Every structure is written in C-alpha cells, then in structure tokens.
Structure 1
C-alpha cells in the first residue's frame, strides 16, 4: 500500500464523520468457544458492570466521539434475524455506550438501494475502508481507497440506509 494511503487508525483518529455499513448475517462464527459460544450458553453482559465488557475498540470509538466526530453504524439484517444477529444486537449497547449511533434495517427494506458488494467504513465522505470476508465470514483483509466513485456509492448507500433504518433503542429482534 502506498504511503499516501492513510491507515484505518489514521482515518478514525482524524475524521469528522465515520460511518460503517454491515450487511452480513454472521461474521466468523466460532460455535465452540469465544464470545458467541458464551452467549449461546446464556452469558449476557451486565450493562451496570462496565469494567466487564469494556474493550480497547470501545476506547477508540469513545475517543472519536468525544472529540466531536459523528460515528454511525448501520446493519442490514435478514428477518427473521439469525442467531448471530441476536448476539450482535444483545451486545450493541456497548457500542452505544461508547458514543456510536446504531441503526438496523431489515433486508427487505433495502431491495431498491444501490449497495456496494462489501461492508465498509467511510470517513468524511472521502476514504472508503472495505472489509473483505469469505463465505463463512472469516476476514480476508481490507482495502482503503479514495476513489471518488466508490466514496459516492458508499455515501449515497449509507445515507439511504440510515434514513430508513430503525434506531437501536427502537429495534427488536423478535
């Protein structure tokens, strides 16, 4: 990657806006161990016990929001929602506590939206950070571009999704 392309850390630490669109119903699910397996076994984070669920990623989001940047995440989800989506939903209060705004859009309401082929972060409507995944949700890496057509596609898609989506506090997983 050329040195003129900023890293994700550079972008999130200096942006005025950061938006993230997630479009998969699961991401690298480990059914045997880890947070998803613990959730399946009945574990739920206690919102009152912040020390037990706070993690470094939430520090990044909190720092970004506290310096005045808008951080928004939208998730397009199938209905009925997958077990993994319920897992994500149950843990989303941590993102909100860190200062992120989160909305959910049922996939059937996204049919007429021109969406990119991959999940992305978009910084200041200019830099796109693509997230590439395998069919089973394993991360295949990232790509960062400031190609104007890609940035416009992502900005337009995110705005439309955001307008249609339901804020986290009003969304239910059924």
Structure 2
C-alpha cells in the first residue's frame, strides 16, 4: 500500500479527532494552481471541492480536524499562497493555526510532519525531493503517542488561529 493510500485509510478510520503538525516550507503543488494565484485569480474551488466536502462531513459528524502550520522565516512562495487559500478550509470546518518557525523551534517541535489520530495513533510523514509524501510510519506505542500529544499540547496554545492571523 502506498503512503498516500495508507493515509487515506487513516482518514476513513479515525473516530473523534485528527490533529496535524505541518512544518515544511514547500509541498508539491499543481503548477497551474500556483500560476492562478500569481496571476491574481481566485482559486479553482471545483478542484478542492472533494477535500472541502470531506472536511464538512467529518466535522458535521462531530469529529475535530485541527492543524498547526509552521511559517518559515522568511515565508516561502508556497506558504504565501497557502495563507491566501486557507479560509475556504476553515469555512469547511478545519481549525487551522499558524506559528512562526523561530517560536516552533524554541518549543522543540520536530522537523517532520505528523498526524495524531484519536490520541491513539501517530502517522509520521516523510517527503521526497519532489515534495510528495514518500514514507508514512504509523505508530501506536504509548511512548510515541505520548510524545506527540506533548508536541500538540505545547504548540497549540501559542499558535494563532487563521481568523486572527494577519500576514504582512
């Protein structure tokens, strides 16, 4: 099973909460989406609709979907694009927050992305040179889960909700 297929499986299986630490300055993005943004055009919401519908269904079912995104210093072009694309995710039900890289490093946050599902499973994500998901380690041993709960618990409070974040 590919890492992406396994992650999709985890999205279907979790029962109460999904929490993500997102700390890469760049991820794979369709060049046309980025070019639309560069040209000052609105995002193609039709392409994003399946994800937004999924988030709506999850949150309407009473599950939480939260993430903290780390802001590199200086911001990458990808992150500048992402900041402008985030409100539709929030409107669909995601609770997305931002934290500066220097603040995240002071807190001891890891340099890899991960999901914490239901406070029971950790999915550690590793990306290839092409910025695509290359590896996914799914772990449920108590020590690993506790460590990642700790990461969540220290970075969530100082992170800025998207609705309060004002990029300059």
Please tell me whether residue 168 in structure 1 is matched to residue 162 in structure 2. yes
TM-score, structure 2 length as denominator? 0.85
Post-superposition offset of 1:97: 1.3
The separation in 2 between residues aligned to 1:172 and 1:161, in whole angstroms, is 19
Superposition map of 1:1-80 within 5 A: 7-13=6-12, 14-29=14-29, 33-45=31-43, 52=46, 54-80=48-74
Q: Provide the secondary structure at the position in 1 that maps to 2:20.
A: strand
The separation in 2 between residues aligned to 1:105 and 1:52, in whole angstroms, is 29
**1:4 aligns to what?**
none
8 Å Cα contact 2:36-2:43 kept in structure 1: no
Post-superposition offset of 1:101: 0.4
TM-score, structure 1 length as denominator? 0.82
Please tell me whether residue 156 in structure 1 is matched to residue 150 in structure 2. yes
The separation in 2 between residues aligned to 1:79 and 1:116, in whole angstroms, is 16
Give 5+ residue unaligned stretches, structure 1.
2-6
Post-superposition offset of 1:95: 1.0
Give per-residue Cα distances to partners, 1:100-147, cap 9 Å, x unaligned. Answer: 101000011122323234201111111112221124523213222212
Post-superposition offset of 1:34: 2.4
**1:81 aligns to what?**
75
The separation in 2 between residues aligned to 1:136 and 1:40, in whole angstroms, is 21
- Kindly indicate which of the two structures has a greater share of residues assigned to helix: 2
Post-superposition offset of 1:54: 4.4
Q: Provide the secondary structure at the position in 2 that maps to 1:68.
A: coil
8 Å Cα contact 1:54-1:94 kept in structure 2: no
